[in-house]
Structure 1
């Protein structure tokens, strides 16, 4: 999961948990580092204290000895005392002459390492050339760390007698136990802290994003066709309050724009409808005017065929008047929203009644069963079927050798399906998107309201109408609406 896809609440929650974990790791690392530094300081200071105490014991032995205090007599002076000093301070003691040769050691061993018998030249050079005349070497053997300090031993007149070497083992067992115990306690404390942080992060992230969630829900509910509610949030931060005020201002502007748009659309629709009505009415008015003018010019009361001419003139006028009446009825039916009379009816029977008004022999009806019950308006269903069949009849070209219109009714899950299939000239690709638009028609006559009215009726009953068409092969319209 990518972090950018997480919600703001999840980001806040994850960030707080990661912050606590990072702090835990950082504090544990600092603690371990601090313990290691303290261990180094402890061993360095302890070695210095041991060295100081042993030097005091050696100086005391030099004062109390009866032997002349010389380098040559060092083994005699410390023949027994070196073991006593070792026992008191619990630290091995090695004494070397100024040339680096071993004079005396408190190590009880028959065999000695060559490095213990003779010092390295580097040790002698550092001791001779440093102001402190002190040199500490650190090395590791078998996983253990050792420190060896080298200093001069002098007599009362500060004359250098020998070189004191103290091998010191850094035993960290106690410090390691302390560190483990501390880290264990720290781990328990941070476990409790992480649990508390998870609970705290959950509630604090929920509190922070609650206002944003409210705004988000309101934004998702925004619709242009309905009245949108404003957001009312109390005790919000300055940023959230600014966002809420911007949203409320946007709602006011949206409602004002929606009102203007609706008004503009209604006015445009009425203008387009008025133009269409005027255009359709003018079409029959023109031949009517020409007929009247022709009758005026040719009228002769003494003509023996006057009655025949008057009858022809009257028939022409009646025909044009019927055309105007059909135009008015078509516009009236289109403008009138179908009433939702959810009466229970047999769809197969109603479709069959609608097809009975057609005399075309090439119309066939094939229902899935004799009875398919659904809730629909009887009159509106007849209008749907009639318009679709009329559209198919008009789509069949005059030169079609074997015209066919096939009507089917069948049930599909909780829906009723009606299909009207013809083998007419089909629908061109550039007109498919306009086929359900009012006023659009591909015929030389007609107002292009039939399919628009069918779509209006079907959608009123929560149904749908679709079509498939191939140019030159035919078209199939499919109407689907729920049974209940």
Structure 2
């Protein structure tokens, strides 16, 4: 059973349920029908018995018992019943039954006796002098019989009347039951076929989405776009597909984070290597140029101007390379975090004071903004963001840079808004990638470093930018609760 497919197991379960329900309902129907019909035929037999007893009482004319018994064939003809009369000791007196021509005739010679079990019950009741003694008995053939004690006008018992219930009547009962079972079977066969069709349709609705999910799970690719599934109904399958689609989103986010982490790691390794390879020879080169300058000028004073100009150019290039190396070095290694508790608004004020002449407006918050992060790393973040804001504003445009600090849930949010040139939409997704820059100078590592620092803070950094109107950066730093 465990090796069968889910659809096959559900079909077997449904068909088994239908089959057993048919058996159960069929058995209950047969039992109830038999019980109901048995009760009906018992009542019918009792009605016939009462009618026959009344006829015998009428024909006996007081105490003339023998006259009534001699007219037993007439009573049988009227009620269309076989009748038997026995003495109180159970011996045979007379009966009336049909001959070959279908006419009731009397018979006074027979060795018939009352069934022993029935006689025992009747004999006890007669000895106890009970009145209206009747007993319905099922004989060995399964046929019903009724025994009734007959009384004279003095209320004295004088004989026992026996009315057998014809086998044909009981056979009719069985025929009725078989007809009922046949009708019930037909109904259940029809229901079985309808249920099978509905089960197959329902199973396809259940298993098709599961098969589709299985196929999708088998074809999942971390580095590719995985299409979500659509399900129009908000049922259990819909909830499963919704969960699958949500997992797809989470998988994509994790894949993006992994890819970004790998790129960041690769850039850090490359930056370290570049810094190491270039930084070491720069100082000896600078010293060699300066030494060369002194020697040549001393030995050839006429070449002083040319030598000074040449050495100045070389030293400028060396200094430029040193700046590049420092940028790579800063990006590659931020150093170990030294967390400390301080007021964020005071640190922002200290950094803003460094740019007094740059048109920065700082709106200090009314409450203290307590954080626990590396102060020097925060300084590098704000310096970078503020410098980018200043450099993004054209020289002919009046600088308007606004800095605010607000509270958002569990974060302090620093908002830096400028009125610069803005960032084109097609470049915005790459803003935090290493080597990306919108300026004519620089290595494009500043915002990548800022993103790394904010991530280390367990914070968030986002931005909104509109071309030729400016850019707004939102830096969220976790609050510190003492």
Length-normalised TM-score, structure 1? 0.47
TM (norm. structure 2) is 0.47
